[in-house]
């Protein structure tokens, strides 16, 4: 979605399982939040092509439930 959004994991991504948590449900959740923010006018539509969001994301390394990570 726009504006372009960069996710920065707060913990070291050590393996594919960690990457799947960050770039699966966590990324999907952030993307939905960005879309919702644009639709609700929190992020002005006229700024979506010029703004960039940098988002620091923490997913506990022991987290297993992708549904809970998403929420």
Domain count, the chain: 1
Give me the CATH number covering residue 41: 3.30.230.60
Instruction: Please give the model's pTM, rounded to 2 decimal places.
Output: 0.87
Which residues have C-beta within 8 Å of that of residue 66, sequence separation ≥ 6?
21, 24, 25
**pLDDT for 1 beyond 90:** no
50: containing domain: 4-70
User: Could you report the per-residue pLDDT of 14-69, keeping only the tens digit for each?
Assistant: 999 999 999 999 999 999 999 999 999 999 999 999 999 999 999 999 999 999 99
């Amino acid at each position: 979605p726009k504006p372009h959004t960069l996710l920065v994991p707060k913990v070291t991504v050590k393996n594919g399982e960690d990457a799947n948590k960050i770039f699966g449900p966590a990324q999907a959740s952030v993307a939905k939040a960005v879309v919702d923010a644009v639709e609700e006018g929190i992020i002005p539509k006229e700024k979506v092509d010029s703004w960039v969001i940098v988002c620091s994301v923490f997913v506990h390394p022991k987290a297993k439930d992708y549904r809970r990570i998403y929420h």
